[in-house]
Amino acid sequence: MDPKKTKEQIIGSIRMTMKHEDIMTFVSGLHDVQMDMIETVVIRKEREGFPEATIVIKHIMELK
């Protein structure tokens, strides 16, 4: 690896240009992806039964 290369040259760079009127459509698409990711995590956690929360609740109940 050439020690004179900058961080950007090593990692790489992506540049995207879009029309001003397309920005909100793009951001809306990002929000859709974000919501899909959140939904996936919530569904997975519901299936697993929230083991961390169960441990904490059990501990609190034993304190009584």
42 found inside a domain: yes
14 Ramachandran zone, left/alpha/beta (phi>0; psi -120 to 50): beta
Torsion, CA 35, CA 38, CA 39, CA 43, rounded to 10: 180
Domain of residue 57, residue span? 34-64
For residues 5 and 27, give the distance between their C-alpha atoms in angstroms, rounded to a whole number.
33
41 found inside a domain: yes
The pLDDT of residue 5:
66
47 found inside a domain: yes
Helix (H, G, I), strand (E, B) or coil at 8: helix
What pTM did the predictor assign? 0.51
The pLDDT of residue 10:
63
Please state the domain count of the chain. 1
The model's pLDDT over 8-61, given as tens digits with 9 standing for 90+, comes to 666 777 788 999 999 999 999 999 999 999 999 888 877 887 788 888 888 999
38 found inside a domain: yes
52 found inside a domain: yes
59 found inside a domain: yes
14 found inside a domain: no
60 found inside a domain: yes
